[in-house]
Amino acid sequence: MQSPMADRLRELAWAYDPAANESRISAEVFLFNKYLLMQACVEAFPAAEVDHVVGGFVGALHERGRDLDFNEERQRAIEQVWQARAGEFEQAFMCDREQVVGRESADACWKQMINRFCRNVKEFDSPPDIWAGADSPSHLASHSVSAEWGRMTAALGELNQHHFGRTE
């Protein structure tokens, strides 16, 4: 949760909704990161190993969450929110990824993912145009997502190579 991407997403959330609650923003940043990590696993590991690897990451996250002392009802609620967010991000991720794949420049734009993240922070009837200006918080967040995506897939690719002895 301490990364340039997380910082850029927080800045974007504040710009999008200055009245946003800090805990809501932190939760949405966490869920965005978790979704991106799960997709990076799908990218980096052989299909036969993805469920095992993702299960390990989810188990590690749950283990870290034990320190938070959530009761069973709260854990179920968190899992429901995760399932909802994963479903919401799926279409946006797939559409954006089609645009990003094969691009060599840092201009790759994760527009639909970033828009979905903002709507998860707060749904507006008439949302502000978050893409105005070349150095807007949305553009900075998008570039950070590209950089983080590259780091995640490279690190997981190395893990795949070392653990499974192959690349895919």
DSSP characters for 135-167? TSHHHHHHHHHHHHHHHHHHHHHHHHHHHHS--
- Rounded to whole angstroms, the Cα distance separating 136 from 150 reads 22
- Rounded to whole angstroms, the Cα distance separating 89 from 25 reads 16
3-state secondary structure of 78: helix
Confidence category of residue 137, pLDDT binned at 50, 70, 90: very high
Please report, for the chain, the start and end positions of each structural domain, with discontinuous segments joined by +: 4-164
Higher pLDDT, 25 or 3: 25
pLDDT of residue 112: 94
pLDDT of residue 103: 62
- State percent of the chain over pLDDT 70: 89
- Segment 61-75, tens digit of pLDDT: 777 666 666 678 887
- Rounded to whole angstroms, the Cα distance separating 8 from 140 reads 6
CB neighbour list of residue 70: distance below 8 Å, 6 or more residues apart: 78
Averaged confidence pLDDT in the chain = 86
pLDDT of residue 113: 94
- Segment 77-114, tens digit of pLDDT: 888 999 999 999 999 999 998 887 666 555 668 999 99
- Over residues 18-27, the mean pLDDT reads 92
